[in-house]
Structure 1
Amino acid sequence: MTRLKVAVRVRPMSERELELGCVPVVSAESENTLAVTNLKVAESGAGDSRERVRRFAYDCCFHELATQDEIFDAVENIIGNSIKQRYNSCVLAYGQSSSGKTHTMMGVPGNPGLTPRLCEKVFDYLRETAVGEEMNDLKVTVSFLEIYNEKVRDLLDGECADNYIARKRLPLKVREHPKKGPYVQGLREHYVTSPESLLDLLQKGDRRRRIASTLNNRRSSRSHSVFTVDCAGARLRLVDLAGSERAATVGKDRVKEGAHINRSLVALGNVISALAELSSRCSKRRFVPYRDSVLTWLLKDTLAGNSNTVMVATVSPSSNCYSETVNTLRFGQRAKLIIARPVIDEDPKERTIRELREEIRRLRLLLEGGGVQSYSALSP
């Protein structure tokens, strides 16, 4: 049993925010605490003085000068251990549009984000815990999808051309298996044998993801993306959500996209709230509306079931984004309350093979040690 971990990253002020005369209102007071100042209350002097500065506590807080290395070190401690122990895991980036989610997850050439860094380390994690010849038999597969206007598309479909018209004809359906849970019917899984082949598929799919220019962001992600690495039964999901945004900041051509994005994020917020209430009040049952959106249905296990999940909430420090920042921080506080119970997903045949390999390893150590006493010490 474990709680969902929440890390918050404050990005630097943008050039546009500085040109508009905005000032920073968010500061990281410690490794676990953020302070947000409400300038309207501070300037007018009206209201309770305690409302001028609001403090929020999380598992990790990163100020605007935090590097990609620092973010990775904090997240890897959780995700790396999960993969080594063959538990499902997930990193989920949440925040308003232009708050730095994609930069945190993907980064830029020469300064990669969480997704490529974790992909480079996946095979190292597996080697550390592989028993005997197990590494030679491990099957690592990759899939990459986007959710755009509530429709799922395969970003690694070889028959899918890199243009909008071709991709528009290929929506996939989310189904639910009675034992394995939600899955995407027809989503292709690609076998990989090295970090290089894994990163190649990541870059290929990322180039096909939908982006567009808005008033706040010249390269705004217009879809939610889910990159999944299945490593020997342990599933790692790397989720970069599209950001919530005001209709006035997206332009007329992007209003429909923005409406779909906001609707799915509202559904995600409702699911988080329901799960947080269930976790804090175990005696009461409450309906969790997973099927209100494709996103929440697909991430059902990731949010409250069989997964060690880290949510990275990104926020702008600008006074112009005060409301959106507070909403993101409240969302993170609710997510912190969620309790998950991850278990090792393993095929019965694979479990038998793993147990036999462990027994062989113990017997080899017994022969090397030369005695019953050594065997007794090694036996569980």
Structure 2
Amino acid sequence: MQRAWKGKTPRRPALKKTNNVEKDPVGVYCRIRPLGAEDEECCVEMISSSTIQLHAPDGLKANRNGEYKETQYSFTKVFGINTGQMELFEDVARPLVEDLIQCKNGLLFTYGVTGSGKTYTMTGSPGEGGLLPRSLDMLFNSIGPFQAKRFVFKPDDKNGIDIQSQVDALLERQKRDSQQSVPKTPSSRQKADLEFADMITPEESRKSKNIDEDCSYSVFVSYVEIYNNYIYDLLEDAQFDSVRPKPPQSRILREDQNHNMYVAGCTEVEVKSTEEAFEVFWKGQKKRRIANTQLNRESSRSHSVFTVKLAQAPLDADGDYILQDKNQVNVSQLCLVDLAGSERTSRTRAEGSRLREAGNINQSLMTLRTCMEILRENQMCGTNKMVPYRDSKVTHLFKNYFDGEGKVKMIVCVNPKADDYEETVLVMRFAEMTQEVEVARPVDRPIYHLAAGRRHRNQAFKDELSRRLEERGGPVNGGDSALMNQLIESLPALPPCELVDPTDDQTLPRLIEVLEQRHRIRQMMTEQVTHTANKVKFMLQQFDSQMSSKDTFVHDQQSKLNEKEKVILNQKTEIERLEKKSKTLEYKIDILQKTTEMYEQDKRSLQQELEGQEQMLQKELSERRRMEQRMQGVVTDTKLKWEKECERRVNAKQLEMQNKLWVKDEKLKQLKAIVTENSSGGSFPPEPPKKPERPSRERDHTMPQKRSASPTALPTVPPVRPTHRRSRSAGGEKWVDHKPASNLELDTVMQPIIPNAIKVSTPNEKALSKCHKYVLRHQELASDGEIETKLIKGDVFKTRGGGQAVQFTDIETLKQECPTAPSRKRRSGSDEGPAQTEDIENRAPVGGTSSSNGYQKRRRP
């Protein structure tokens, strides 16, 4: 909401009317109360009759660095400090009372900070009556002569009004008089309550000119308060128990058959005068919750709602009695609401229950503001957001008014002192925003299709009849009617007739006496009715004789009546046509509403299904992520397990190879000793033929060729030179030698040697792209406890995606043998060497793998 500095607030353009429904904006009025002391700093200035300007206090400007500027706010009308209660009533409340008489609802509530004059505006003080007593005074001044007798209209406890017959109403009145629970209405203003009599002077009394004299009226009032978001009936007659005092019972909100909200079980009192209505108001006002706070000596701690309900029903065609048809009863109501003031707990220093009360008050006012904001957004932006009426009892109770069940007006009360500046700014923003909310204009009351002026014509006829009867022999209306009414009113009420004592000799005689008296009065009434009927018959005969001489006049009147009947017939035909058209349109509207509900239901079901699918998808994704994490954990655990197992096997194999190396060293020493002995003897035995060498598959180390020695060797024979066999790994290809960091270094003499190899501890794409072959050194523990090394070989080739892949083709196993193994028996002498050498040389590869015996050097301790 943009604001012009030192200028009027820009107004939004008027909303377009839709569906041919005329709307009126919420009427917002501002009233400025006088300052408490002349030396107080003022922050509110009245610019014109519809604009005010707020000035930030000097201290606040210094603290906020000029954040608060002089801002202007516009309202329907602004009432200054010199405005009286009468002027305020004429501009604000009087139109609502006029609408109440015309069967239209109205809502008027006061809003503002604590101590801004809301209760004074609504109730007033002696000599300065507020809006509530002036509204009651105008209502009863207008309908006073046309009110129905008490108990003719009766609430049905469902927010409706029933009509009772004259006999039932008479019995109700007699029952009331016997119980003496309802005080009688004062007959004149002199008997009125003195406090109320001082509020409104006779010169200030107002009267409506739009009263329908062909209707009968009755007024019902109720008074409730909303405290801590609970509704309590202030007019409830609860018996006080001094031993166990019971707290008041809260009421609930319900919806009637016309979808209007009402307080279920609320007390509705029928009143017949302004004094009686104001007396009922003060009865409830004494029960209202007020408290002494830092900001107000008598601060309202609840929202009060005083409802004036007007029931009216048409008279019959003769203008004598009320139509006994509940559907013809029109009920309208005017709600006068005094909202509790918004306040900051930091200023009031509230604690305990006062702090809770302040929190509930601020929460309900915040809900009212939220409802107004959403209503304005729906009307301006064309949205269809749900208005949160149910979040607070205040908004839920007045939901129908904002939906188009009557006019809504608000009086914003402002305290101009500087201490309330920040709260006043918030109140002004809410009030200005409320002006942009539009409420549907209420429709006029229905027409009863009865001739107007029935009561007046009936009274004129009775007066004329009385005058002629007086001329002919005695008064009827002045004598007979008065006597008849006197006899009806003199019927005694039946005394209690319950017998609880067999010796009771007073109840039955008293009952017999009352019945005899009622019987005598009924006989007198019968005689009076018979006498009156005879006089009426005589008068009708006189009229017949007079009317015979006026046939021409009657004929003219009959022709006019026929013309009027034709006009009425045409109007009825037009009305029937319009009613049929209206029913057709209503049927189409119902079909469209049902179709819309079906589509909305389908939309909700699809949205729910979509949400369910999304939830299932999210669940599956989360389950997949959990499975991946679990598998990663399993892989990591397995890898660690195998690494530990490999390390254990390598250690065992290393120990085995060390033992074998020691055995080989011992055998070489023995061979050396044998050769030395033979050479010292002077001759060598002839060299045995060489055994053909078996080729091994892809050995990556050289193995010396051993020869068997004999005891007699010739000294001229050259020393034996070992031959070497080359493995296939010694070719011209480039190899990737993958040796994991966990492998153990074996101190064997014969180590696998791979030339042109790139040694890596972890294979990578860069190394694979430069080589053609791949070998993996894998160590594990053999069955005999020695470390066994496997050379896993493969070819490297390029993939379609531009990467590298390895295809394994061969596995070469390298084993170590322990000389102390139980399968070998150590022998002494010359026979041991050749046999052992032959066993080593004649070992052949098995099943696609080649094995070689590495001769290791035994570690000396």
Which of 261, 275, 296 lines up with 2:375 in the alignment?
275
Which secondary structure state, in structure 1, belongs to the residue aligned with residue 449 of structure 2?
helix
TM-score computed with the length of structure 2 as normaliser: 0.39
Match of 1:320 in 2: 419
Q: 1:337 to 1:168 in 2, by over 3 A?
A: farther
Which of 309, 314, 320 lines up with 1:230 in the alignment?
309
**Is the contact made by 1:145 and 1:152 (CA closer than 8 Å) also made in structure 2?**
yes
User: Which residues of 2 match residues 81-160 of structure 1 at below 5 A?
Assistant: 81-126=98-143, 128-134=209-215, 137-159=216-238
Deviations 1:302-335 (A, max 9, x none): 3342111110011111111111111111111111
User: Relative to structure 2, which stretch is displaced further, 63-72 or 231-240?
Assistant: 63-72
* 1:59 partnered with 2:76: yes
Which secondary structure state, in structure 1, belongs to the residue aligned with residue 250 of structure 2?
coil
Q: 1:34 to 1:167 in 2, by over 3 A?
A: farther
Measure, in 2, the Cα distance between the counterparts of 1:162 and 1:10: 45
- Give the partner amino acid of 2:30: V
Deviations 1:164-208 (A, max 9, x none): x95733111112235232111111111112222211111111121
* 1:78 partnered with 2:95: yes
- The unaligned stretches of length 5 or more in structure 1 are none
- Give the partner amino acid of 1:288: V
Which of 35, 38, 41 lines up with 1:13 in the alignment?
35
Measure, in 2, the Cα distance between the counterparts of 1:97 and 1:290: 24
- Give the partner amino acid of 1:188: T
Deviations 1:131-180 (A, max 9, x none): 3341xx212111100001111111111226599x9573311111223523
- The unaligned stretches of length 5 or more in structure 2 are 1-22, 147-208, 312-330, 459-553, 572-861
- Give the partner amino acid of 1:213: N
- Give the partner amino acid of 1:53: E
Deviations 1:77-119 (A, max 9, x none): 4213312322101110011111110011011122111111111
- Give the partner amino acid of 2:120: H
TM-score computed with the length of structure 1 as normaliser: 0.85
Match of 1:287 in 2: 386
* 1:210 partnered with 2:210: no
* 1:184 partnered with 2:259: no
Q: Report which structure shows greater RCO (CA 8 Å, sep ≥6).
A: 1
Which secondary structure state, in structure 2, belongs to the residue aligned with residue 139 of structure 1?
strand
Which secondary structure state, in structure 1, belongs to the residue aligned with residue 71 of structure 2?
strand
Q: Flag the structure with higher strand content.
A: 1
Deviation of residue 250 (structure 1)?
A: 4.8
* 1:355 partnered with 2:449: yes
Measure, in 2, the Cα distance between the counterparts of 1:289 and 1:177: 20
* 1:242 partnered with 2:336: no
Q: 1:62 to 1:43 in 2, by over 3 A?
A: farther
Measure, in 2, the Cα distance between the counterparts of 1:162 and 1:301: 39
Match of 1:265 in 2: 365
Measure, in 2, the Cα distance between the counterparts of 1:81 and 1:278: 31
Deviation of residue 64 (structure 1)?
A: 2.0
Deviations 1:350-377 (A, max 9, x none): x56x43254858999xx9xx768x979x
Measure, in 2, the Cα distance between the counterparts of 1:149 and 1:270: 19
Measure, in 1, the Cα distance between the counterparts of 2:267 and 2:276: 16
Q: 1:357 to 1:297 in 2, by over 3 A?
A: farther
**Is the contact made by 1:31 and 1:62 (CA closer than 8 Å) also made in structure 2?**
yes
Q: 1:306 to 1:53 in 2, by over 3 A?
A: same
Matched residue count: 361
Q: 1:291 to 1:318 in 2, by over 3 A?
A: same
**Is the contact made by 1:11 and 1:99 (CA closer than 8 Å) also made in structure 2?**
yes
**Is the contact made by 1:9 and 1:314 (CA closer than 8 Å) also made in structure 2?**
yes
Measure, in 2, the Cα distance between the counterparts of 1:273 and 1:114: 28
Measure, in 1, the Cα distance between the counterparts of 2:254 and 2:363: 21
Q: 1:375 to 1:108 in 2, by over 3 A?
A: farther
Identity percentage over the alignment? 31
Measure, in 2, the Cα distance between the counterparts of 1:207 and 1:32: 36
Deviation of residue 14 (structure 1)?
A: 2.2
Measure, in 1, the Cα distance between the counterparts of 2:49 and 2:393: 35
Which secondary structure state, in structure 1, belongs to the residue aligned with residue 225 of structure 2?
strand
Match of 2:252 in 1: 173
Which secondary structure state, in structure 2, belongs to the residue aligned with residue 332 of structure 1?
helix
